[in-house]
Amino acid sequence: MPNAEAGHAVSSAPATDLAQLVEVERELEQRLVRARDEAAAVLAAAQSEVENLARAGQQEDEAARTQVQSRLGQERAEQEAAILAAGRTRATWYDELPASTLSELAGVVLDRLLREGRP
């Protein structure tokens, strides 16, 4: 019966090969599922990081905008203070003029206005 045993071994070999192929296919499908899950997780993490970076960039932009507006406000206040100080200095100069000089200057201004008003 060696022939019978040999035939039996031959006939079980394709079934064993098929079972191994099915097992390999199942393992590959499981690996594929895990790989897809991992890829989805990596993609979600990357998207989250991009969103975080975008938010951080917006916050930095807003902070810079606020800082620039603050500086502009300070510069305006300083310019206004300088203009007011210069105006006060000029006003003080006129306040210190003698009354006779002020009358004379008023006369000059009046003469100019009257001359310019004529056709």
pTM for the full predicted model: 0.47
pLDDT at residue 65 greater than cutoff 50? yes
Q: What pLDDT sits at residue 27?
A: 96
Euclidean distance between the first and final Cα of the chain, in Å?
Answer: 145
CA distances from 29 to 15, 25, 40, 48, 113 (A): 21, 6, 16, 28, 101
Q: Put residue 9 in one of left, alpha, beta given phi > 0 → left and psi -120 to 50 → alpha.
A: alpha
Q: What pLDDT sits at residue 1?
A: 45
pLDDT at residue 113 greater than cutoff 70? yes
**Domains of the chain, residue spans:** 2-117
Collapsed DSSP state (helix, strand, coil) of residue 1: coil
Average of pLDDT values for 49-72?
Answer: 94
Weakest mean pLDDT among 5-14, 19-28, 75-84: 5-14
Average of pLDDT values for 27-51?
Answer: 96
Q: What pLDDT sits at residue 11?
A: 60
Measured at the CA of 97, the angle between CA 110 and CA 106, to 5 degrees, comes to 5
Q: Which residue has the higher pLDDT, 19 or 117?
A: 19
User: Half-sphere exposure (CA, 13 Å, Cβ side) for 47?
Assistant: 6
102 Cβ contact list (under 8 Å, min separation 6): 94
Per-residue pLDDT tens over the stretch 78-103? 999 999 999 999 888 878 888 888 88
